[in-house]
Amino acid sequence: MKHRKLGPFNVSAIGLGCMNLSHAYGPPVSAEQGERVLLTALDQGVDFFDTAALYGFGANETLVGQVMKPHRQKFTLASKCGMQGVDRGDGTQVRVIDGRPETIKKTCEDALRRLKTDVIDLYYLHRWDKQVPIEDSVGALSDLVRQGKIQTIGLSEVSANTLRKAHAVHPIAAVQTEYSLWTRNPEIAVLQACRELGTAFVAFSPVARGFLCGPLDIAALDAKDIRRTMPRFAPANYAANLKLLPAYNALAQEAGCSPSQLALAWLLHKGEDILPIPGTTSVDHLLDDLAAVDVQLGADLMNRLEALINPNTVVGDRYNDQANSEVDTEVFA
């Protein structure tokens, strides 16, 4: 496994996004399967693991804590606050965005307990709460750094302008945003801002929420699968997007790799400061993803990939109106 710089850390060039094990793409996997995926990743040289208070409303942090506590010195741990589940009073939880300093600090205490650790290496503000100045939320995170409860601060789904405001309060070690061949919004401004500030860029959903792994049967998706709310997966849009895959798969064959490896290799070739964190519930898929570190892509193939899949050829927005209102990322006209 190759390594890259993230703030004070040297982490595996491909990390593991742990969300899929507990959240968003269907029922959670069993504890045994979650353990199998996490420990296989560690065994294969992955030393950058990403979770959040939101995922499974704490269940994902709990899983990571239980499985990874004996290996805590072997990896860099990232989690997130500012978006979490709140009890409705009837035994169910609802997702809320809350960036108030007191909530951030309470969420961190809960996370430390669930993760069974004394310190979180990288702690992100999962979403900027637009009711709270970013300076106030980052100020609370900087208090946690001074208290030794977190080591570095990250932001998720923010614009270049918000990043600069936050960085003026405390250095931002990483920005995490969706980035893949079919979601290129970071290229508008925030990726360049990260480079100017020395902030690493962590790319989530690097295989386009499974689209670039091969055709998905969208009719068979779980009723609570978040892709059911995403315009690109609406039946008519998805049918149009499927037309991109034959040429894409041909490029993967030309590169001598799997489709998912091609998507990850493209990101790795976009800059040494970019760290993709694919997620999976399958050990086989995990091993396939990690082999992308050895895939070499020439400039001509990179250009043909980008000409094939880009904002002008993909049909549908990445988020619905509600989700778009919750993020601060730049958008294409």
Is residue 36 within 8 Å of residue 29, measured between CB atoms?
no
Is residue 143 within 8 Å of residue 174, measured between CB atoms?
no
Residue 242 CA to residue 262 CA, distance in Å, equals 17
Alpha carbon distances (Å) from 182 to 11, 179, 185: 25, 8, 9
Is residue 75 within 8 Å of residue 47, measured between CB atoms?
yes
Q: Determine the 3-state secondary structure of 242 from DSSP.
A: helix
User: Token pair of 263, please?
Assistant: 């998507």
Residues contacting 38, CB < 8 A, separation 6+: 16, 18, 21, 49, 63, 64, 67, 68
User: Token pair of 322, please?
Assistant: 């509600």
Active site residue 55: yes
Q: Which helix (H) or strand (E) is 55 found in, with range?
A: none
DSSP 8-state code for residue 186? G
Is residue 228 within 8 Å of residue 219, measured between CB atoms?
no
* Residue of 25, 55, 123, 179 with catalytic role: 55
Residues marked active site are found at 55
